[in-house]
Amino acid sequence: MSSYQLSGYTGLTLNQLQVLYSKYLVPTLKDKAKSTTIASAVALLLGYLAFKKIQEPPHEIRHLPHISYFTMLRSILQGEPTSSLSKRLVIPIISCPENNGLYARINGLGWTVHVASPEANKKMLMRTDIFPKSDPLPGTDGTLASRFLRGPNVLLLNGASWKTQRKLMNPAFHQSIPVNMFGGLVQRLFSVMENETGPINVTNLMMRWTLDVIGQAGFDFDFHATDEPENEWVQVYNSISKGMGKPLWFFFPVLDRKFLWLFPERRKSHKSLDRFLEMLDGVIVKKRKALKENKRNPSMKDNEKDLLTLMLEGSQTGGAALTDRELQSNLCIFFFAGHDTTANALSFIIYFFAKYPKIQQRAREEAHKILGDAPQDVIPTVEETKDMTYINMVIKETLRIKGPVTAIPARRAAEDTELEGVFIPKGTLLTSDIYNMHHNPKIWNDPETFDPERFKAGGEADMLASSGMPWMPFGGGSRLCIGMNFSLAEQRVMISMLLRKYTWRLPEDSIHKDELRTNNIGIMSAKILDIIFEKIY
């Protein structure tokens, strides 16, 4: 294939491909990864992808506008923020008058139709018979991500198996809103913040805090990440989390399966996952034994029990029992869906409050109205979190403009169908493009402006919702995120207590002064986000 022909497929010449490899891919390799052996292996992989896989979309969906694979790869390896990628490549496509909010681009599963239309998303997410979930990691057995995420869990199952698990878990998630536990961990956070001097990296701090929350709320395990950030279990989990977020392994999973012996750091991540899974197995066995021996705390309210306990109790009272493997797989999914997502949402909320002090003060006044303005920590009740109207508006607008989840797990069309008048052939992969739908000027007025008023009663969001799913940071339809109410309550408790305790602002030299700068792969996260906090009491 000539340089000209390759450019036609990828948007790059061979010389540009060489620059991409040497300038952006090689520096991502660690330790001895720049050795001749590894460089040759990666070069061979790039060649394979260029000549065999990186082509135009299959003819069945070639009628859709598309973004080439190497254009996406180059953007990711350059670290282009999600917002820049959206403005440069996606919004010009979906904002055209003739476009119905659908376009194609390649990802880890292959060529996928991205759906950024409220009406089309509603049809896709409501018709699970036509658009069932697809295996998100086909052909990746043995990779770190596959070992952590794949399995018989409520996120990935379809049909009767999914319905059985969802039916069992729904009561647990509706009962478990442990606001006292949330509040106690916020107080632990405050004690750590008081010992800090200068700006605080809230991205890191929220990651640590939400790890403690998901550990205690999920299965009554205290990581002590907030107050002991270097302890053994925190390092174990961080090794897993960081390992799954590296672009190299996302684009080249075969390295994880066939060439792991070349990457010492990657082997450490796999060993960390071994330890983590063994720990979960031990917790499950211990919980089952305690319930069998009736070792329960009768004074503990259901909403303060951990999710694992509630699921096991539910199976004892007539619900379908989950196997240890199913419980382990679902606990992993709780971490994946509930840790990084909520941590980054909280970081983004804190950022927008720092950028817009008038909005921060209005939210503080609401917290004082509900919880009082006495100079002492007050933990909200479940009922009080429901009264936080303006704080909830800020949370929802943050999840619109900078929602950590930018797309949902892929669906696969089970038959020939159509979306918004566009033919979708059987077998096509599709995903809801949440971020770009939230930023589409054909849907939202002035979408790049942070405006919580959109979410007041009868406001823009309410009017848009009558015709589809324009706001869906938690997905939608029958497979709406089971932990949505849990996460929103967690955010309200943290933010209301933080507003009463501190005022905060961005440092003058913040890299985020004009716009929040984020990554562009996986869960959206801010680059180092330093905030200056000042105590009120």
Q: Which of 55, 74, 101 is the last residue of a domain?
A: 55
What DSSP assignment string belongs to 369-437? HHH---SS--PPPHHHHHT-HHHHHHHHHHHHHT-S--BPPPEE-SSSEEETTEEE-TT-EEEEBHHHH
Is 116 among the domain residues? no
Q: What pLDDT, on the 0 to 100 scale, is given for residue 44?
A: 57
Averaged over 507-536, what is the pLDDT? 91
- The verdict on 43 and 163 lying in the same domain is no
Q: What pLDDT, on the 0 to 100 scale, is given for residue 404?
A: 95
For residue 526, give the nearest of 438, 436, 404 by alpha carbon: 404
- In the predicted model, is pLDDT for residue 7 greater than 50? no
The pTM score is: 0.87
Averaged over 303-325, what is the pLDDT? 83
Q: Which of 15, 40, 55 is the last residue of a domain?
A: 55
- In the predicted model, is pLDDT for residue 6 greater than 50? no
- Each residue's pLDDT tens digit, 417-429: 999 999 999 999 9
Distance CA 436, CA 326 (A): 34
Q: What pLDDT, on the 0 to 100 scale, is given for residue 71?
A: 86
Q: What pLDDT, on the 0 to 100 scale, is given for residue 379?
A: 97
- The verdict on 312 and 176 lying in the same domain is yes
- The verdict on 167 and 48 lying in the same domain is no
Residue with more model confidence, 39 or 514: 514
- In the predicted model, is pLDDT for residue 440 greater than 60? yes
Q: What pLDDT, on the 0 to 100 scale, is given for residue 13?
A: 47
Is 154 among the domain residues? no
Q: 113, 429 in Cβ contact below 8 A?
A: yes
Q: 458, 112 in Cβ contact below 8 A?
A: no
Is 68 among the domain residues? no
- Each residue's pLDDT tens digit, 338-395: 899 999 999 999 999 999 999 999 999 999 999 999 999 999 999 999 999 999 999 9
- Each residue's pLDDT tens digit, 449-462: 999 999 999 999 99
- Each residue's pLDDT tens digit, 48-57: 555 445 567 8
Is 140 among the domain residues? no
Q: What pLDDT, on the 0 to 100 scale, is given for residue 26?
A: 57
Q: Which domain, by its residues, includes 444?
A: 159-409+439-535
* 3-state SS record for 106-170: EECCEEEEEECCHHHHHHHHHCCCCCCECCCCCCCCCCHHHHHHCCCCCCCCCHHHHHHHHHHHH
| Strand-strand pairing, 429-432 and 502-505 | unpaired
Averaged over 293-310, what is the pLDDT? 78
How are strands ordered across the β-sheet holding 502-505? 200-201, 530-535, 502-505
- The verdict on 31 and 165 lying in the same domain is no
- The verdict on 164 and 27 lying in the same domain is no
Averaged over 18-25, what is the pLDDT? 55
Residue with more model confidence, 16 or 133: 133
Burial code of 98-117, b = ≥16 C-beta within 10 A, e = fewer? Answer: ebbbbbbbbbbbebbbbbbb
DSSP at 260 = G
Averaged over 383-408, what is the pLDDT? 96
Q: Which band of pLDDT confidence, cut at 50, 70 and 90, is reported for residue 302?
A: confident
- In the predicted model, is pLDDT for residue 473 greater than 80? yes
Q: What pLDDT, on the 0 to 100 scale, is given for residue 42?
A: 61
- In the predicted model, is pLDDT for residue 512 greater than 50? yes
Q: Which of 14, 36, 55 is the last residue of a domain?
A: 55
What percentage of the chain carries pLDDT values higher than 70?
87
Averaged over 148-161, what is the pLDDT? 88
Residue with more model confidence, 398 or 294: 398
Number of structural domains, the chain?
Answer: 2
Longest dimension (CA), the chain: 74
- The verdict on 384 and 241 lying in the same domain is yes
- The verdict on 255 and 397 lying in the same domain is yes
Is 138 among the domain residues? no
CATH of residue 176's domain is: 1.10.630.10
- In the predicted model, is pLDDT for residue 140 greater than 80? no
- The verdict on 263 and 401 lying in the same domain is yes
Is 63 among the domain residues? no
Q: Which band of pLDDT confidence, cut at 50, 70 and 90, is reported for residue 136?
A: confident
Q: What pLDDT, on the 0 to 100 scale, is given for residue 55?
A: 62
- The verdict on 27 and 176 lying in the same domain is no
- The verdict on 28 and 175 lying in the same domain is no
- Each residue's pLDDT tens digit, 64-90: 999 987 788 788 778 888 899 999 999
Average pLDDT value for the chain: 87
- The verdict on 51 and 164 lying in the same domain is no
Is 254 among the domain residues? yes
CB atoms near residue 213 (< 10 Å): 26
- The verdict on 256 and 403 lying in the same domain is yes
Is 132 among the domain residues? no
